[in-house]
Structure 1
Amino acid sequence: MDILILLPALLLKIFGLPIDRAIYWSGVAISPVLQVLAALTTARAARLLWPEYDAWRLAALMVLLNGAAMTYCLPGRPDHHSLGLLLAALCTGQAIRAALNTSDSTSAVKAGAWAGVGVWVSPESLIVIAPTLVAFGFLWLKSADQPRAWARQGRNFGLGMTAVILLAVAVEQPPALWLHAEYDKVSLLYLAIAVAATLDFWLAERMPWPAWKRFIAAGLLAGASALILAALFPHFYLGPLGNITTPEAKDFLDNIREMSPIIPINRATMNQFAGMVGNALIALALIPYCLWKWRGQPRWSATLLASLIYLATFAATLAHQRIAVFLAPYGALLGCGVFAVLCSRAQNMRPVTKMTVRVGAAFIAAFGAQLWFLVAKSDTASAALNASCNPKPVADWLNTEHPGLAAPDPIGAERHSPIIFSESINYPPELAYRTPYRFVAGPYHRAIDDITDMYRASISEDDLTAREVIGRRHADYLLICTTAVPKLIGESAANSLYHRLLRGDVPGWLRPLPMSAEANREFRLFAVQH
């Protein structure tokens, strides 16, 4: 992602724009550009499934209007998920071509290569890769006349992925760490997964057996591979979250809004669900229709592959709403077919009726579940679910009063950036961006120890424990939000440090610092007495 921002910035610099402004504007533009490319790539793949009535053209519009895709691809948000969206579409487009023509080995290798790039950018891409491998494996088991061809496509996919991940490990990791596994970064772990998949399909290709024997062999192969991977890399199946070992860190990460579930069980969660899943939901209705209507056709295999990826990403989205961005291209790829189906039904109707059906079908496909907001009303539950602390007034006060700083913007040897300890991981990144202060933790799964210390200090009922943790972190200040607190801390004992500070029972080793009225509306700041 950095390269995609820096290369256009260098071009802008050549044309006279200062490098800092060039990087800024390149960062502003990159995610919308990637979304447009993802939309076009998805439409190109959809054309293979839905050539009728040019329904595939709607797939591009669906990606552009999808709630999650728009959220992660906003101007000024250079998020790696926007690149992941494009890579998912590129991978599946090639995989569909490989499924439509089992002699097209090139497309299978390309699909695997794009999958490898996806892992390079973010191991979250496994949510797309795993069902793709399952699809090739199922088609190998199901096929009566060409099982070896399907195994070969799976092997080719694995080879493409292995080659790219091998390159990625060599580029991203120093030689001393080539044999070191990292869960949240391309490493030996993901190379091992790619190699295991390739070997499994290579062995499958050499099994000219009846279906029932292949079924048993598949179970043994998959089971053995999983056991070996689990022995070498515990929790490998959790992908980038596999290195989270403390319950405190896991619970805190679950309180990050984009990591939270969006199962629609009430109006508040339905609003979140409709906003993030949006028009991708309509694909659920098309999957059984397509698998029934296209049975015996080449499109059936390609639709099965896309459907398995869709169902896997849909289930993951319900658990963690950030995965919804990966759901967008598959919802569009399959969901645009509603236009073709309804147009086919209206083919023999009167011209006015036919046009009405076409417009209605396009409208339904483009907006899908987002139409919920035409009838939904905001309520207190929705407001509570989306409650958050606004740190901007605190940033304004810190930048005006700059406590602990000898000068507003010290440089060189004179620079000392005070450290602020907080009870939440959600607002520190914005404060770190807006001010010269440093913060202990943020919503990052690598900050396991930081998050654990934040949790233990906030719920501590013993001043010695809380002071030891905050002192070990060399914190100069303690900041708490009074309106939106992580659930675990909010439910802590009444005499925990957090609740004591809320009711004004301040221990002697902390000194209250009054801020502006606006900042004090939601926050309290304390100086640590060393």
Structure 2
Amino acid sequence: MKPDVLGGFRLDRELDRNWLRWMALFWLCVVAWFLHDRQGNIYWLLLGDTDDNMRLMQVRAWLAGQGWYDLRQYRLDPALGGADIHWSRLVDLPLAGLILAFKPFVGIATAERWACGLAPLLPLSVAMAGLSLAVRRLIAPWAWPVALVVLMGCTSTMSMYAPMRIDHHGWQLAFLALTVAGLADPKRARGGATVGLASAASLTIGLEMLPYCAMAGAIIALRWIWDRADVRRMQVYALTLGGGSAFGFAVFASNANQVLRCDALTPVWLTVMIAAGALLFGLSLLNPANRWVRLALAAAAGAAIVAGFALLFPQCLGRPEQVSDELANTWLNNVREARPIYKHAFKTAFPMAVLPVIGVIGALFATWRARRSEALVGWAAVALFTAFASAMLLWQVRAAPAAQLLAVPGSVALLVVIVPWFLGIREPFARWIGAVPARILGVLIRVFGTVLAFLLLSGLWAGLVVPFFSADKGAKPGKPAAPDKIVAANAACARLSNLRMLNDIPAATIFTHVDLGPRLIVTTHHSAIAGPYHRNGRAILDVHHAFTWPTPNFRPIAKAHGAQYLLICPNMSETTLYRARGPNGFYSQLIKGQVPNWLEPVTLREVRPGTPLPFQLWKIRYDLPDAPAKAAAR
């Protein structure tokens, strides 16, 4: 399949020679559409995820003078010295740069809004470039637009690039796309450098992509085992992985990450990366001619890394978060993204899984087609990488964005074979039905067959069929289902216009739900107790204990954290845990109207007269003795 020549204009040649220019134009169109479509979210600073809110707070603190290596968030649990955030400053740079660029023209508030809207779209350009390079190298120089169109249908992946999604996921996916491009690169040194630097940058941001980085390194080693001529790729990869990780640690590791922690690029993982790079570089210098000797040496190097890790860092053999069993059972194990895909509802799991399956099939098909060409090794590497990413869905559903991203080359490999086949049909069955009917049938097959093939092989059909299998069984004929109270509460209590009403009271420390803490400190001048960040397990447990234990336990816990007010959001997701684990606990008593005498109601202005705010606020009175709780007047 090749694009046609149009009046002497060779489209395939244009897509080859000026691919980067046209890709940039495609990206600008996506940016324009996203900014237009999400302008409401931008205006209302609708940062939907706790991590997005915390990312903005980290950037604000840095721009306000907080140290480069000091990543503590001092507006979470300020009485006890702030919250330890295990991130790095790398992802803060583009967001901070955009804020500083916009600020002189529109002021700080509007600058933050538009920076948060535009920042996620910057790594999208890198991801597009990575996928385009991979497809150009594996399939054809003109095939990259097909990859970009398929990428637009990767709902899980594209959600990480939507305006206001300012946390690190988009950048790590972009580096993953560059890793695929490096694995597919026929120029060995350049390919090794791309994979090594992309892996080092991803690890500098966080360890979420550590399994993919490890798999990419294993694939490079396997390529060398199979063909010793690939030694240059492994040699450069080893140097860039070790050197890039060392640079990332030196420049971006926070003060808190200078110790032997297991959840970030600390001395633990820096040691592993440097050791892995050194061993691979040593193997590249030996480069024995016998394939079995290369296999034995690579296996010995891998065993040495594993054994050394177990001996030197035994504390990291368990969960990298190193949380207590109580914290894991109370909070971390309940994070939905950490559950395997088969534990999610069909309407959630099916659209996530379809394209990765298609991608694996397509990559295997392309590998088989390339069995007698130079592209065999590149396709084999990508097929292995795609299969690994898809299998990760059986571990955690948060692997879906990466699995869909890596499925794109396989999907394109099928599309460039199947779609031209449909387009080539002219007069089917003419011998039996005649020329004119056959010509009409050919047109129908070309049109509808091409559309159907694209929908099937791009995975777009998954979203179209889900509504037929997931109808709301609670709805009665002719009557819509009742709105989801939890979803409504989550949205209402995080709404900027509602939270702004809290600024009517002087700045204070407010005791509230863990998941509401980051949003509270972004939108108001108040401080909170905790956010969903595992290094601050004591604060998280204290919040859960305060809400689930009997009422008399609340005030001592709140006092230890310097809380002056109590804020609750009835029906917010987190509160379902309070009610389940403490049916007679403090929170359950509050929502039943059993309010202790030492909680003094605080009346706030309403955004719209007659429409009550979705949350309730009380001032905590430490000077009053306990007395039997009385039903609150509403």
Compute the TM-score of the two structures, normalised by the length of structure 1: 0.81
3-state SS of 1:123 partner = coil
Percent identity among equivalent residues?
21
Paired residue for 2:620?
Answer: 528
**1:479 is paired with a residue of what secondary structure?**
strand
Segments of 5+ residues of structure 2 without an aligned counterpart are 1-90, 427-441, 475-482, 623-634
Q: 1:13 to 1:178 in 2, by over 3 A?
A: closer
Q: Specify the alignment match of 1:191 in structure 2.
A: 270
Residue in 1 that maps onto 2:334? 255
- Offset of residue 50 of structure 1: 1.9
**Corresponding residue number in structure 1 for 2:324:** 246
> 1:166 maps to what in 2?
246
Report the Cα offset of residue 473 of structure 1: 0.9
Residue 429 of structure 1: how far off its partner (Å): 2.3
| 3-state SS of paired residue (2:281) | helix
Supply the distance in 2 between the matched residues of 1:485 and 1:220 (Cα, whole angstroms). 49
- By how many angstroms is 1:28 displaced? 1.5
Q: Which amino acid aligns with 2:588?
A: H
Matched, 1:48 2:137: yes
Contact (CA 8 Å) 1:481, 1:524: kept in 2 or not? yes
Q: Is the radius of gyration larger for structure 1 or structure 2? A: 2
**Alignment partner, residue 326 of structure 1:** 402
Stretch deviating more after TM superposition (242-251 or 512-521): 512-521
Once residues 564 and 102 of structure 2 are traced to their aligned partners in structure 1, the CA distance between those partners, rounded to angstroms, is 41
How much is the aligned-residue C-alpha RMSD, in angstroms?
Answer: 3.5
User: Which residue in the other structure is 2:511 paired with?
Assistant: 421
Q: CA deviation at 1:335?
A: 1.6
Q: Secondary structure at the match of 1:420?
A: strand
Distance in structure 2 (CA, Å) of the matches to 1:439 and 1:85: 31
SS in 2 for 1:456: helix
8 Å CA contact 2:363–2:382 kept in 1: the answer is: no
Match of 2:462 in 1: 369
For the residues of structure 2 that align with 1:308 and 1:490, how far apart are their CA atoms? 45
3-state SS of paired residue (2:217): helix
Aligned to 1:482: 570
Structure 1 residues 509 and 23, CA gap change in structure 2 (3 angstroms): closer
More divergent stretch after superposition (271-280 vs 384-393): 384-393
| Distance 1:6-1:507 versus aligned 2 partners, 3 A rule | closer
2:491 equivalent in structure 1: 390
Aligned 8 A contact 1:67 1:278 in 2: no
CA–CA distance in structure 2, aligned partners of residues 447 and 519 of structure 1? 33
- C-alpha displacement of 1:19: 5.6
1:446 and 2:530 matched: no
- Per the alignment, residue 129 of structure 1 pairs with 213
Picking from 325, 340, 345, the partner of 2:416 is 340
Offset at 1:93?
A: 0.6
Residues 337 and 519 of structure 1: is their aligned pair in 2 closer, same or farther, counting only changes over 3 Å? Answer: farther
Q: Is the contact made by 1:244 and 1:448 (CA closer than 8 Å) also made in structure 2?
A: no
Give the C-alpha shift of residue 472 in structure 1.
0.8
Partners of 2:197 and 2:241 within 8 A in 1? yes
**CA distance 1:81–1:402, change in 2 (3 Å):** closer
Seen in structure 2, the aligned counterparts of structure 1 residues 304 and 389 have a Cα distance that, compared at 3 Å, is: same
Number of equivalent positions: 500
Residue of structure 2 in register with 1:413 after alignment: none
The residue type paired with residue 390 of structure 1 is A
Q: Deviations over 1:228-284 (max 9, x none)?
A: 22333346577xx61332234334234345x34362467xx2222245556444213
In structure 2, the residue matched to 1:409 is none
Q: Which residue of 1 aligns with 2:6?
A: none
Distance 1:44 1:85 in 2: 15
- Report if aligned partners of 1:317, 1:324 keep a CA contact under 8 Å in 2: yes
1:170-217 CA-to-partner distances (Å, cap 9, x unmatched) read 21247x878533444433233222222223323444363755555554
Q: Displacement, 1:402?
A: 4.9
Question: Structure 1: where are the runs of 5+ without partners?
Answer: 406-416
In 1, Cα distance between the equivalents of 2:278 and 2:238? 8
1:28 pairs with one of 102, 107, 117: 117
Q: Does 1:228 align with 2:228?
A: no
Q: Would you say the 8 A contact 2:489–2:569 is kept in 1? A: no
Give the aligned partner of residue 414 of structure 1.
none
Q: Distance in 2 between matches of 1:431 and 1:242?
A: 28
| 1:137/1:154 contact within 8 Å kept | yes
Structure 1 residue 449, shift from structure 2 partner: 2.4
| CA displacement at 1:341 relative to structure 2 | 3.0
Which of the numbers 153, 161, 170 marks the counterpart of 1:73?
A: 161
